[in-house]
């Protein structure tokens, strides 16, 4: 029996599984490698030895640089990338559309709006936690609107369009807030939030973002089975015993939590959630469920690599992280649209 | 297996089904025919709980639909919707394995029994050779077979197939209808919506004619698809044929 089944399982089916496992391992190694490499890059003139030593001791300027500046930045790049990658994979699975990403639901823009409001009203100065709190509140508000729509029976198309409208509205209000910015520094800070940057992050940012992102990704992982069933459409998923509205709710809130926390820490880093799942999909048999965690790893690799690249290209910090990801991601987005248009 | 008792259903303000009573019997192929918008798909959606009936009761094995737990119902009724397709180009075998989902829990992987059911479903649909191909590499006829195998892999005692023969060439249409007949022979209650009256007359044990949300006629093909019903509901006159012991008809002329 065992042998008969072994031979009846097509070779390429087993191969597809192995390719995925190899890819996941490679992504994990790369994420670790980029995360470590990121520690040794920065404007402060310390050798690798100084930084390594500084990480594990409590005295000297090198230890402050290593523990308070380099470590949060390196770790946040991984955390933010993981949040965006997993969110993109889950949204593409839910919307059954490779063009979906956290931006399309309006979650990123709404989180950015929350952050900008916190800055504009000086709330961030009252308590540092208010800034990320507002960003996550913004993300949850947009997610709640989407969830409300999905409860009232709106289809996937309506959700996508609502997301586009929410994103436009959030961007418009952000611009409104910007034009009333009380001082030029506020303007500069807000641009950082809108474009996305990991410059000058603190351990506090990491401590706040990491658990929320982890919870968000965990929620997304619980929706994996349902996303596989959704490959056959919502009616079939329902007929297979999947609670489709619960899956929608989990994806929307998981994405809000992960992307909201990531945006709170790094600003609106765009296109990571679009590019990563799309590139990884063939390695995982195009299965939405298997794609979520590898996309988290892939996002971590991409954001980490991009954050290293901008520091190598422009050591004085003129280049923002979100600028680089958009410059890679936007042409990719257009190429993807053209390719999808060619397919019947 | 499934009994509709005086069902009404509506989308918003529009009444789509009105006073429909019918049965999908075990071991029989029940054909549902009717002009566009007659409520054929809606009838399936009420049986799946996708659209609650506003009046009347749907019973599955004698028990009202709303008393069925979600997972048990999923193991009981398999659904192949109209224009069914895969949104991602999964491997055919993986797609068919989705049909086992009602038998699995979140963390339990496919067992040997599941693998056997998948192989069996693929074999029944003559799709074993397609198992390791990607869905987007298959022709329309091959995809239809794999998608039917997905529905069969559940091994549910009820199969609802909505226009499975549409967009298939004649040979594949016949193959698909043969497969549905075979399922009924195995004891499954098969219900199928069809636009093609020839296929309906030839392959179904019982036919229900829906017209504007009401049952216009039902019974054996000869009775349900009478000249009178065809004129009233479809506005056509038919030519009838009798070949190899099976009767069929072709819509021939508009009134």
pLDDT recorded at residue A3? 39
What tokens does A284 get? 């995982």
DSSP A109-170: HHHHHHHHHHHHTTHHHH-TTHHHHHHHHHHHHHHHHHHHHHHTT--HHHHHHHHHHHHHHH
Residues in B closer than 8 angstroms to A339, CB to CB, are: none
Nearest chain A Cα to B114, which residue? A5
Phi, psi of B243 (to 5 degrees): -140, 135
Q: Are A10 and B134 in contact (CB under 8 A)?
A: no
Give the pLDDT band (50/70/90) at residue B153: very high
On whether any CB of chain B is under 8 Å from the CB of A64, the answer is no
Residue recorded with tokens 């065992």: A2
| Higher local confidence (pLDDT), A12 or B99 | B99
* Residues of chain A numbered 216-245 and touching chain B (CB < 8 Å): 222, 225, 228-233, 235-236, 238-243
Most A CBs within 10 A among B73, B80, B87, B120, hence the mutation to make, goes to: B87
On whether any CB of chain A is under 8 Å from the CB of B90, the answer is yes
A52: left (phi over 0), alpha (psi -120 to 50) or beta: alpha
How many C-beta atoms surround the C-beta of residue B59 within 10 A?
17
Q: Could you state, in chain order, the average pLDDT of each consecutive group of 10 residues for chain A (344 residues)?
A: 40 67 96 94 84 85 88 96 96 85 83 85 81 85 80 70 87 82 68 80 88 95 94 94 91 90 89 92 93 97 95 86 87 80 57
Q: Are A165 and A110 in contact (CB under 8 A)?
A: no
Q: Please, which residues have CB within 8 angstroms of residue B177's CB and are 6 or more apart in sequence? A: B165, B199, B202, B203
Residues in A closer than 8 angstroms to B102, CB to CB, are: 240-241
Q: Are B54 and B229 in contact (CB under 8 A)?
A: no
Phi, psi of A159 (to 5 degrees): -65, -45
Contact A231 B87 (CB under 8 A): yes
Q: Using the predicted structure, report yes or no on whether residue B210 has a pLDDT greater than 90.
A: yes
Chain centroid to Cα B41, Å, comes to 9
- Provide the angle, in degrees to the nearest 10, between the axes of the packed helices A203-222 and A130-151: 20
Residue recorded with tokens 């949300």: B213
Answer whether 0.95 is exceeded by the pTM: no
Residues in B closer than 8 angstroms to A232, CB to CB, are: 84, 86-87, 95, 98, 150
Q: Using the predicted structure, report yes or no on whether residue B152 has a pLDDT greater than 90.
A: yes
Helix (H, G, I), strand (E, B) or coil at A297: helix
pLDDT recorded at residue A6? 40
Contact A286 B89 (CB under 8 A): yes
Nearest chain B Cα to A10, which residue? B132
Residues in B closer than 8 angstroms to A1, CB to CB, are: 112
What tokens does B175 get? 């193959």
Strand ordering across the sheet containing B214-219:
B77-80, B158-162, B189-193, B29-33, B206-211, B214-219
ipTM confidence score: 0.93
Residue B59's DSSP bridge partners are B3, B64
């Amino acid at each position: 029996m065992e042998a008969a089944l072994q031979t009846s399982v097509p070779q390429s089916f087993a191969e597809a599984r192995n390719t995925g496992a190899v890819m996941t391992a490679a992504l994990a190694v790369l994420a670790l490698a980029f995360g470590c490499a990121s520690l040794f890059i920065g404007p402060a003139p310390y050798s690798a030895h100084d930084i390594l030593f500084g990480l594990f001791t409590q005295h000297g300027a090198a230890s402050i640089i290593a523990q308070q500046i380099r470590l949060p930045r390196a770790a946040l790049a991984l955390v933010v990338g993981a949040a965006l990658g997993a969110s993109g994979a889950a949204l593409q699975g839910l919307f059954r559309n490779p063009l979906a990403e956290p931006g399309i639901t309006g979650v990123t823009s709404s989180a950015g709006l929350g952050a900008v409001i916190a800055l504009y009203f000086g709330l961030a100065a009252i308590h540092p936690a208010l800034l990320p709190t507002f960003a996550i509140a913004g993300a949850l508000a947009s997610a709640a609107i989407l969830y409300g729509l999905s409860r009232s029976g709106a289809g996937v198309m309506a959700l996508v369009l609502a997301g586009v409208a929410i994103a436009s509205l959030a961007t418009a209000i952000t611009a409104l807030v910007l034009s009333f910015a009380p001082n030029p520094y506020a303007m500069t800070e807000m641009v950082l939030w809108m474009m996305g940057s990991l410059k000058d992050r603190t351990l506090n940012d990491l401590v706040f973002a990491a658990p929320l992102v982890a919870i968000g990704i965990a929620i997304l992982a619980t929706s994996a089975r349902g996303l596989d069933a959704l490959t056959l459409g919502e009616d079939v998923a329902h007929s297979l015993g999947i609670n489709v509205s619960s899956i929608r709710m989990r994806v929307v809130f998981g994405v809000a939590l992960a992307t909201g926390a990531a945006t709170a820490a790094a600003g609106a880093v765009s296109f990571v959630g679009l590019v990563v799942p799309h590139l990884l999909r063939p390695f995982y048999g195009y299965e939405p469920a298997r794609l979520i965690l590898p996309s988290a790893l892939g996002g971590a690799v991409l954001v980490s690599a991009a954050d290293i690249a901008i520091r190598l290209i422009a050591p004085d910090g003129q280049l923002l992280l979100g600028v680089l990801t958009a410059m890679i991601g936007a042409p990719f987005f257009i190429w993807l649209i053209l390719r999808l248009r060619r397919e019947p | 297996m499934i009994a509709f008792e005086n069902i009404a259903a509506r989308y918003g303000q529009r009444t789509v089904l009105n006073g429909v009573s019918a049965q999908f019997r075990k071991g029989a192929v029940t054909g549902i025919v009717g002009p566009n918008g007659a409520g054929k798909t809606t009838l399936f959606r009420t049986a799946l709980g996708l659209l609650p009936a506003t009046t009347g009761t749907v019973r599955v094995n004698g028990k009202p639909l709303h008393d069925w737990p979600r997972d048990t119902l999923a193991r009981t009724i398999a659904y192949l919707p109209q224009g069914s397709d895969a949104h991602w180009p999964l491997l055919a075998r993986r797609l068919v394995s989705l049909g086992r989902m009602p038998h699995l829990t979140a963390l339990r992987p496919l067992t040997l029994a599941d693998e056997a059911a998948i192989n069996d479903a693929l074999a029944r649909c003559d799709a074993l050779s397609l198992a390791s191909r990607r869905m987007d590499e298959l022709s329309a006829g091959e995809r239809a077979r794999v998608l039917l195998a997905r529905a069969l892999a559940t091994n549910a005692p009820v199969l609802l197939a909505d226009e499975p023969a549409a967009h298939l060439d004649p040979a594949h249409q016949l193959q698909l209808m043969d497969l549905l007949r075979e399922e009924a022979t195995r004891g499954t209650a098969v219900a199928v919506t069809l636009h093609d009256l020839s296929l309906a007359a030839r392959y179904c044990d019982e036919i229900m004619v829906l017209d504007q949300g009401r049952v216009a006629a039902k019974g054996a093909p000869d009775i349900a698809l009478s000249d009178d019903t065809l004129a009233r509901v479809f506005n056509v006159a038919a030519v009838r044929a009798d070949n190899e012991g099976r009767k069929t008809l072709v819509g021939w002329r508009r009134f």
